[in-house]
Amino acid sequence: MTGTELEKLKRTIFEIYADYISPLQAQYPRLTEDDLLLLCLQEADIPALTIALCFGHADTFALHQRRLRLKAKML
């Protein structure tokens, strides 16, 4: 995805999942927009490879690493 496409995706997802995102931001203020996007896409049961492609990765390894960093932020 290009940067513009990713921004459109973020805006759309953040509008749809606003009620899901607000409590997350309040509880975990260190979460970035990309972290929140990942959580929303997971909540929507999007396959891991599709999520990885959204972030510009050809496989799910980088997504796995991102999830590990996300877990650390949420402890």
Quick one: what percent of the chain has pLDDT higher than 90?
89
Report pLDDT digits (tens) over 43-73: 999 999 999 999 999 999 999 999 999 999 9
Residue 62 confidence (pLDDT): 93
CA nearest to 38, candidates 75, 66, 74, 62: 66
CA nearest to 62, candidates 72, 70, 52, 54: 52
User: Considering the entire predicted model, what is its pTM?
Assistant: 0.91
Residue 75 confidence (pLDDT): 87
Helices (H), the chain: 3-16, 18-27, 33-43, 48-54, 61-73
**Domain locations along the chain:** 3-73
